Structure formats: C-alpha cells, structure tokens
Amino acid sequence: MGSDVEITTPKATKQKSGFVTTLTRVLKYSGVRLLSLFITVVIGVYLTIMIANMGGYVDQMMKSEIQERITMQIQANPAFRTMDPATRSQLTQEKIQSEIDRLGLERPLVIRSMGFLKNALTLNLGRAQLMSSDSGSRNVKAIILERIPYTLLLMGTANLILFFSTLFLALALSRKYGSFWDKFVITLSPTSSVPPWFYGIFLILIFAAVLKILPFGGVIDAPVPKDFLGRALSVGRHLILPASSLILSSFFLSIFNWRTFFLIYSSEDYVETAKAKGLPSRDIERRYILRPTLPTIITAFALLLIGLWAGAIITETVFQWPGLGRVTFRAINLYDTPVIVGTTIIYAYLLAITVFLLDFVYALVDPRVKIGSGGGPQ
C-alpha cells in the first residue's frame, strides 16, 4: 500500500476500506490465534496439575501424613494422658476429619483440579506445602520471585554472549567458506553433544581446584563485601565458571549452524546478481543476506529469551547456584505441587505470549508475510 503515491479520490476511499479490512483481518487472526494458544496453555497446565498431583496419589500421601501427625500430637500432649482410650481415639478421628475437611481432601480430585486450574491460570499460585523461601515465606510467588534474578543473571549473561558472539562469528565465517577457521569450527562442533555441566566439572577442576583463581560455586563470597562495587565484583567472579560452561557447551555447534544457515542464503541467485553488479560485500551482506534471514534470527532470539526462564537444573546444582532450576528440582523431589505448577504456568504463559508476538514481528520485518491471509505464518 505504501507504493500508492498518486492517490485519486476514489482510490483513497478504496484504500480506507482496505485499511478496515486489514484491521478486521488482523483482529480476527489475533482472536483465533490467542484462543488456540490459550487452549494449548490450559491443556498443558492441566496435565501438569494432574501429573504433579500424581493422579490423586498426593492426596493419599497427605491424608496418611495428617493421620500420623495428629495421632502423634495427641499422644504427646499431657492434657490427654488421663483420657480413656476410647474417647481419645474418637477425638483423634474427629481432629483428623476436621483437618481433611479443612484441606478439602474429601472432594474428588477431578473437581478440585478445576479450582487448581483456575487459580493457576489467574496466577493465584497459593502457598507451598513444604518449601519456603530464604526469607521464610511459604508463598509460591515469593519462592519463585526470589530465585528469578539469579537464574536471569546466569542464563542471561551466558545466552546473550553466546547468541551475539556466535552470530557475528558465523557471519564472518560464512564469508570465508572452506578456510582454516571454517574447518576448525566444523571439527569442533561435536563438542556440543555433551551437556554443559560436563564442562562445568572440568572448569571447576582447572580453575578452582588446581589454579585456585576462581571460586568453586555459590553466588557471592562468604563475608559479603560491604560496598556495591565489591559485591558486584564478587558476583561477577562467581558467574564466570557457570556462564562459561553454558557457553562452551553450545558454542561451536551454534556457530556451525548459523554459518550453514548464512551459506544457504548467500548462494541465492539474487546474491549472485548483486555480486555480478559489483556491489561491495558489506552491502551484499546487509541488504541481501541478512534481511531475508532476519525472521529466523528473531525467532532464535525469542526462543532464547524464553529459555532464560527455565534455568539449568544440573549446571545450577554443580555450581550451587540458587536459581529456578534448583527450585524446580527440589519441588519435584518433595512433591510440592503448588511450586511445580507455579514454575510451569509461568513458563507456559511466557512461551504462549512469545509465540503470539512473533507472528506480528514477522509481519513487521518481512513484507512477504501477511497476517491472517491464508498463507500466513503458522
């Protein structure tokens, strides 16, 4: 529409109606897309709730735990010592029943799970059963919020460095197809078949155990430095090893993948034409290679942003990094359902929102993509 420079009056009205149809098309598309994404999120979260409750098994565990706790309480209480056994057992039964009623364990899980689902979807995450945050709160939101900065710090540093360094190195390599460094990266790309914590163990060995220049793990030195600069330096020192093990484990494969990707686009006919015209390689790169690859780069970046929230369970454990990954892991080991559901729902929402926004970003950067018009992005 932007190319319509000479607009006559009838054309102008036509364009206006064109704008209206575009708007309705986009709105309709957004509606349908949001609905389908929402349904996916609901299904995913409901599955998580059912699995995290182990299809009702957690209820049984809780009931027997309540029974044990109240029996012990009554036996240990000197006030009930003189009571005759029949009254005492009746009292025990009553107390157990009232506790079960209080927690609503009598109603079947299928009905209660609907309540759980509603709470989860409205981000009303409730209270943890066993875990508590470092400040002592039982609130699931507090537990998760407390850990998010650490996970974001670690994953953000590692992934942003990884993303931009590999992207630019790959671009440089794609110019020198078949050179020594190109072959070097190809040879080293299988290093990524090993998970980050493997590199973590060796980095700890080399830099912490043998060379003793970097800490073994944790976030900050034991007597916390008083001034801000000291604290920042200390955290930075603790960050080096976990971040580099995360970077190292996908560095070469990532360069290799981007390089292959750029190579495919630089063998297009229009790039050949541009070369034949004698355009400088900088211009060719910017106008003809980077432009069509932009949607893919943006997708990779968006997926990276989502990935930041998940944390890395084993890497965090090896480095004793207090992030979300360790919270999830602990919650699963303790069967702390609210915490498990809480971490999952946040992740699911972020994923859905990113996927939704991506469609619009595609349409913005790629004029070939038209939202909601049949062949739109899927």
Q: Footprint of other proteins on this chain (CB under 8 A)?
A: 40-41, 43-44, 47-48, 51-52, 54-55, 57, 61, 186, 189-190, 193-195, 198, 201-202, 204-205, 208-210, 216, 253, 256-257, 260, 310, 313-314, 317-318, 328-329, 332-333, 335, 340, 344, 347-348, 351
User: Residue 139: phi, psi to the nearest 5?
Assistant: -70, 130
Closest CB to other proteins among 188 and 290? Answer: 188
Amino acid identity of residue 8, one-letter, is T
Q: Which residues contact 346 (CB under 8 A, 6 or more apart)?
A: 144, 309
Q: Which is nearer to other proteins, 258 or 362 (CB)?
A: 258
Nearest distance from C-beta of residue 198 to other proteins, angstroms: 6
Whole-angstrom Cα distance, residue 215 to residue 320? Answer: 11
Closest separation between CB of residue 54 and other proteins, Å? 5
Min. distance of Cβ 250 from other proteins in angstroms?
Answer: 12
Report the nearest approach of other proteins to the CB of residue 241 (Å). Answer: 12
Cα–Cα distances (Å) from 96 to 64, 69, 85, 173, in that order, read 10, 9, 16, 69
Where on the phi/psi map is residue 55: left (φ > 0), alpha (ψ -120 to 50), or beta? Answer: left
Residue 109 beta carbon to other proteins: minimum distance, rounded to whole angstroms: 14
Query: Residue for token digits 């509606």?
Result: 31
Q: Looking at beta carbons only, is 74 or 341 nearer to other proteins?
A: 341
Q: How far is the CB of 287 from other proteins (least distance, A)?
A: 26
Nearer to other proteins, 35 or 205 (CB): 205
User: Is 198 or 360 the residue whose CB approaches other proteins more closely?
Assistant: 198
**Three-state secondary structure along 313-377?**
HHHHHHCCCCCHHHHHHHHHHHCCHHHHHHHHHHHHHHHHHHHHHHHHHHHHHCCCCCCCCCCCC
Helix (H) or strand (E) holding 119: helix 109-121
**Closest distance between other proteins and the C-beta of residue 130, in Å?**
14
Residue type, 275: K
- Minimum gap (Å) between residue 204 Cβ and other proteins: 6
**Distance between the two ends of the chain, CA-based, in angstroms?**
24
Burial readout 244-272 (b: 16 or more C-beta within 10 A, e: otherwise): bbbbbbbbbbbbbbbbebbbebbeeeebe
Closer of 12 and 206 to other proteins (Cβ): 206
| Beta carbon nearer to other proteins, 22 or 320 | 320
The nearer residue to other proteins, 91 or 313, going by C-beta atoms, is: 313
Are the beta carbons of 170 and 259 closer than 8 angstroms?
yes
Distance CA 125, CA 49 (A): 12
